[in-house]
Amino acid sequence: MNSHWRSLPENLHLSPGNPLLPGAMAHPQGVYFSVFSRHATGMILCLYESPHDEEPAQSLRLDPVSNRTGDIWHCYVPELRAGTLYLWRAEGPFEPREGHRFNPSKVLIDPYAKALTDGSMDLCSALAYDDQASEKDLSFSDKPNDGCMPKCVVVEDDFDWEGDTPLNYPLKDCVIYETHVRGLTCSASAKAKHRGTYRGVVETIPYFKDLGITSLELLPVQEFDSSERFRRNPLATEKLSNYWGYAPIAFFAPKTSYAFPEGADHDSFDPAYPVKEFKYMVRELHKSGIEVILDVVFNHTAEGNELGPTLSFRGLDNSVYYMLADDRRFYRNYSGCGNTLNCNHPVMRTFIRECLRYWVVTMHVDGFRFDLGSILGRDERGNLLQNPPVIESIAEDPILRDTKIIAEAWDAGGAYQVGSFPGGRWAEWNDRYRDEVRRFWRGDDGFAPHLATRITGSSDLYLKNGKRPFHSINFVTSHDGFTMNDLVSFHQKHNETNGEQNYDGLNENYASNYGIEGPSDVPFIEEIRNRQVKNFFATLLLSIGTPMILGGDEFRRTQKGNNNAYCHDNELTWYDWALLKQHKDIYRCVKTLIAFRKNHSAFRREDFFRGLSHDRTQSARRATGVTEIQSPEETAPDILWYDEQGKPPQWENLGKVLITRINEHTAARDLRCSYILAFNASPEAIQIRLPHDHEPDTWKRVADTSLPPPHDIEEEDYPMLADQKDYVMAPRSFLLLISSLDVIEDKPAVSD
């Protein structure tokens, strides 16, 4: 037996313990345990000596009198230490029509478990699944599942944080990079020593720093069921898996397999190793100034529908933890995954809040993105609440007050709350931004006015609710859908390898292949695709709001047209870092745009544009109490709009061109910088009249996506335009000009 797995002391006994200590808590002389169950009639603590034990070394029955306070079963076991392996058994009625599914044959994961021995074990094995049950006794099976269940680990939270605390940058200053812990470095092209792991993320820090992002948003790292119902790729032989991780089984535990490089023997490590590795990753990212945001899944679990496996919540108290249908044998399914957590039940509310606090206080994360966040707003019957208690409690929790909270403001049951998600300070994934930016650059008619609204912070969605532009998480692509390369390379999805006959995934992606479906070596087509990728990034990174980049888009990562690659843990989804060299011009463009955004506060506004002149003198008089009449001195409006002739646009008649001037002021309201952003989504070249509303307006070119590198975007010493009157924009191109009163010395004039 490995030294990490200790033989249990003989003749262990229980004492009452403490109901206020949830989960398992190590003490110098023993371990406290507690678990919630309102309807259980008995509770048994099962202790194991190794991860693959098929039966417990000892089973300790809790006394319902001395070891129960209200709905909490609790005990203290002297002589146990950190590293102890355990599971629970719950006795009670198996009455599906009443919503109860107790089954003492099944060992259960502690919902508060801080680590599991191996969450990648095949939880869909016949021993864990109850799919052989008759219709009369849905999901009952007396087959024990100890052998195929990961064991909970008693964790001692000792770690040298070296003074680390969460960074908690203001959202307005963030550039979020959405990525997958395993996929980031799993490919051999990553050349990582610890491929597919938390340490692999750490090894990527120099790349993140060079790119300039501020925040990593990680796809689920809370322990999840990796299996995928025995399905296989119909076009190959490999077994599919739950790669994305949206099937949680232990919300407090970091994904075990992400701690171990390929081929490592899990049993040869300290059972708390995954917790330490996660903390190490966070600490090292923070040292480099990079935040950690977790994608969390509090809307459903891996237990699925009435025929799914009994792993934890179902066996502990099904009728409390889940939303049940009117026929209580079945589950309400607003997640699309078979079940829905009863988030606004007081017990579940407490669980969610304590879980978030743990990840912030103990694991030092900076924020959370809530998958299918609208489910958090439903009551036990699925009705959307006006003031959902759990959403409000998260927003107002004093410990989470500085923590980022981002909602995916919809669910699979039809709720759609983008712009109206309740709870005050919540930010939201803005899919309106995604779709309308895509449609504009595809060349759809009538989308120039929509683009104007999106790049200025989506005031139509957020202003009326008292929110700020940074509450809009702007994105063009995310893990769910096409990569940016595929957005400009495929007209339709190609999900055949998912085994669902290409029915899964969004049908409408607002994509274009520009002449050939899939990869192309035709120079003209590749040039258009490259330009469109740059157009998307320029739009995203110069829009008001909080930008989010899908990892790998900056070097045109592809999933071969698969827009729902949730089940592929292979080269289809792993980052091919060889593309970084192939598309170094894209990477350079993105890197330079990020730096420009970070260096120019006009694109990180806290408030919406007003479009009005500002009377500095009147403002100063109000501030100082001076009342005598003085001559007003107006400054430039913060934003102006133009048509191609330099005149105010007729919005209803706009074609596929949008031109705006953003004026950036000093704290004293003096004009400091002006910027021209021009968008041409038409397949034709256009000539635009450059505005000269203020003297001296001297325009210099920062970016023109139609130009070859390195002139597509200048890193410094922006060249002054030889022609200050007009500018010819190429088809499907973006233009950024700057006029700065701070710049004295300029490069020689160039002709464009």
Q: Which residues are catalytic?
A: 371, 408
Locate 437 and state its tokens: 């930016």
What is the Cα gyration radius of the chain? Answer: 28
- In whole angstroms, what is the distance from residue 679 CA to residue 641 CA? 12
- In whole angstroms, what is the distance from residue 86 CA to residue 403 CA? 32
CA distances from 291 to 21, 166, 174 (A): 30, 7, 9
Q: What is the DSSP letter of 737?
A: E
8 Å CB contact between 102 and 315: yes
- In whole angstroms, what is the distance from residue 276 CA to residue 270 CA? 10
Strands 404-407 and 427-430: parallel
What is the amino acid identity at position 595? A
- In whole angstroms, what is the distance from residue 644 CA to residue 726 CA? 10
8 Å CB contact between 435 and 451: no
- In whole angstroms, what is the distance from residue 161 CA to residue 144 CA? 41
Q: Starting from the edge strand earliest in sequence, which strands make up the sheet with 58-61, in order? A: 58-61, 42-48, 85-91, 152-153
8 Å CB contact between 632 and 618: yes
8 Å CB contact between 300 and 19: no
What is the amino acid identity at position 668? A
The total of other beta-carbon atoms located within 10 Å of residue 289's CB is 14
8 Å CB contact between 450 and 456: no
The total of other beta-carbon atoms located within 10 Å of residue 138's CB is 18
8 Å CB contact between 213 and 590: no
219-251 CB burial, b ≥16 within 10 A, e <16: bbbbbbbbbbeeeebeeeeeebbbbbbbbbbbb
